[in-house]
Amino acid sequence: MQNHVVIMAGGVGSRFWPISTPEYPKQFVDVLGTGKTMIQMTVERFAPLCPMSNFWIVTSAAYVPIVREQLPDIPAENILAEPCARNTAPCIAYACWKIRMKDPSANIVVTPADALVIDNDEFRGVIREALDFTSQGQRIVTIGITPTRPETGYGYIQCSGAQEAEGRSEATGRIQPVLSFREKPSLEVAQQYLAAGNYLWNAGIFVWNVSTIVDSMRRFVPDLAAKMDRMSAAFYTRHERETVEDIFPTCEKISIDYAVMEKADYIYTIPGDFGWSDVGTWGSLWTLLPHDENGNAVVGENVHLYECKGCIVHAPNAESVVLEGMEDSIVVERDGRILVCRLSEEQRIKDFTK
């Protein structure tokens, strides 16, 4: 029984403009100034779990050349091109049906391409525990993140305590049954979740055996499963591309959460505490970067700040940036595109750039 890693890399990162654009989104950008892009860091994080031949990238057809350039060690046939965006359930189904044809007993981790983890060893320990658990039966594990603040930008997982877990004794160690999934809350509700102590951030990282997820989709989204069966008849043949281009766009736009996770009664979670962030906004990046004595976070060697407080400045390629008297603001430059915005208004960035 082999491990496989599926990386979802089709998003456009609209809240991370101007370094993330539809032509070159954030998963392919060196957001942290480390010399590695987000997707390269993701592959590096999972590399000890399986060989490169067991990595699969699902991305937009437009991004396939970028993936090949940035991840040359991953086989070209493992880069799966979506003809159009259909949300996470069709994306995941495409990869899992393809893996099943090559490895019918595969254990699979599905992860976004653009998350950040600080403690990679602890993270891999959690993933290994989940893989061992899901290899032993019809079980799905979603990785939960122990919250550090009442965050309104994440979905939440309500997990059970000892009383609720009665009758589901197969849960072991840190693994707990999931009671419910909750949408992104208001600040007041997020504070209640934090106080309750049994709510975790939903990282969007899933672990399962290939037979479990295929059987689940046949049960809960039979139309999608039927289309995957039709597509898979052409997998690993010269007709694969044209078949995918014909059938995939007809799949319903549906997330894996709605398709499977909220319907199945064999969903579990592991609370993780390994310094995770989805790096979905400039504010989340600000929390991850080093700060100067005034709370400013800077990426770029030619940035000069005077009387500035609580700002994030991202301009690694700028010849010179000088800022004076700014507070709690975002300042970004990339390829002639410039953003200056209050941190409090970062959720509106995707609206500003329409």
Query: Domains of the chain, with CATH numbers?
Result: 3-277 (3.90.550.10), 282-352 (no CATH)
83/304 Cα distance (integer angstroms): 44
Q: Is the pLDDT of residue 101 over 50?
A: yes
For 239-283, the pLDDT digits (tens) are 999 999 999 999 999 999 999 999 999 999 999 889 888 888 898
For 102-147, the pLDDT digits (tens) are 999 999 999 999 988 989 999 999 999 999 999 999 999 999 999 9
Could you tell me which residues come within 8 angstroms of residue 305 by beta carbon, excluding any fewer than 6 positions away? 292, 294, 296, 298, 311, 313, 323, 324, 326
Structural tokens at position 328: 């709690």
**Cα–chain center distance at 252:** 21
Q: How confident is the model at residue 166 (pLDDT cuts 50, 70, 90)?
A: very low
The model carries a pTM of: 0.90
Residues 282-297 as b/e (b if ≥16 CB within 10 A, e otherwise) read bbbbbeebeeeeeebb
pLDDT of residue 303: 96
Return the ∠ at Cα 283 (arms to 278 and 287), rounded to 5°: 75
Q: How confident is the model at residue 171 (pLDDT cuts 50, 70, 90)?
A: low
For 271-325, the pLDDT digits (tens) are 988 988 888 889 888 988 899 999 999 999 999 999 999 999 999 989 999 999 9
Q: Is the pLDDT of residue 162 over 70?
A: no
pLDDT > 90: what percent of the chain? 77
259/221 Cα distance (integer angstroms): 6
Q: Measure Cα distances from 293 to 273, 308, 325 in Å.
A: 27, 10, 15
